[in-house]
Amino acid sequence: MQKEEKMERKKIDKAAIEKHIYGILTALGENPNREGLKETPKRVANMYEEVFAGIAYTNQEIAELFGKTFEAEFDHTTDVRDLVVVKDIDIFSYCEHHLALMYDMKVTVGYLPNGRVIGLSKIARIADMVGRRLQIQERIGADIAEIISMVTGSKDVAVRIEGCHSCMTARGIKKDTAKTVTTVFRGQFRKDEMLQRMFYQSYC
């Protein structure tokens, strides 16, 4: 059995969500008992259990869930940097200010191995699980960087995220072409311009 299956998952209160969604529908002036809405509170509760699964776990717990690494040897006698990059990881999330969808999100993760490398699929799983929380985009990048560092033992991590926010595209200012880009640099990435260029070039 995989480690991610062994960890007991905290459960959300689906009954409470159903009750409150019923109340919201009523407050909107809708009839929650009409045919099209009868099952809506239950459907929303089931959806929330799925899309907010990451709330149940701390960053440390996510690191434990997806912490499979492999020993790797690199030639450190040259100036070549052993940069590992995984790009175009699709995730979604929800803004904590409006409960609005953050969509078309692309995550790029880079790190300098410190004797061990993480399985590539685990990087995508980490990004996906971090996205399944109520938050802001800036925090997603910071949390992914922290977890990658925990798992790999490397302090040298970079995370770039580009995405659209429906709280900006579908309401308010309604600028449907606007995208938000955030970048997190940790360790050597903060001051090493060559590393930064290598990272930037990986997703261009």
Amino acid at 54: G
Q: Is the pLDDT of residue 2 over 50?
A: no
C-alpha dihedral sign at 189, 192, 193, 197: negative
- d(CA 80, CA 72) in angstroms, rounded, equals 16
Catalytic residue check, 137? yes
What does the pLDDT look like over 119-169, one tens digit per residue? 999 999 999 999 999 999 999 999 999 999 999 999 999 999 999 999 999
Please check whether residue 65 is in contact with residue 7, taking contact to mean a CB–CB distance below 8 angstroms: yes
How high is the pLDDT of residue 179?
A: 96
Average pLDDT over residues 176-196: 96
Annotation marks residue 164 as catalytic? no
Rounded to two decimals, the pTM is 0.90
Beta strands in the chain (DSSP E): 69-71, 84-95, 101-111, 116-118, 134-135, 157-165, 180-185
50-77 average pLDDT score: 89
As a whole number, mean pLDDT of residues 48-72 equals: 95
| 165 in active site | yes
Is the predicted pLDDT of residue 78 greater than 60, yes or no? no
Residue 59 amino acid letter: N
Q: What pLDDT score does 72 carry?
A: 80
User: Does the active-site annotation cover 20?
Assistant: no
Q: Considering 39, 60, 96, 138, which one is annotated as catalytic?
A: 96
User: In the predicted model, what is the mean pLDDT of the chain?
Assistant: 92
Whole-angstrom distance, CA of residue 168 vs CA of residue 102: 10
* Selected residue with higher pLDDT from 89 and 80: 89
What is the model's pLDDT at position 5?
Answer: 47
Catalytic residue among 95, 162, 188, 196: 95
* Percentage of the residues of the chain whose pLDDT score is greater than 70: 92
Q: Which of 18, 135, 137, 146 is catalytic?
A: 137
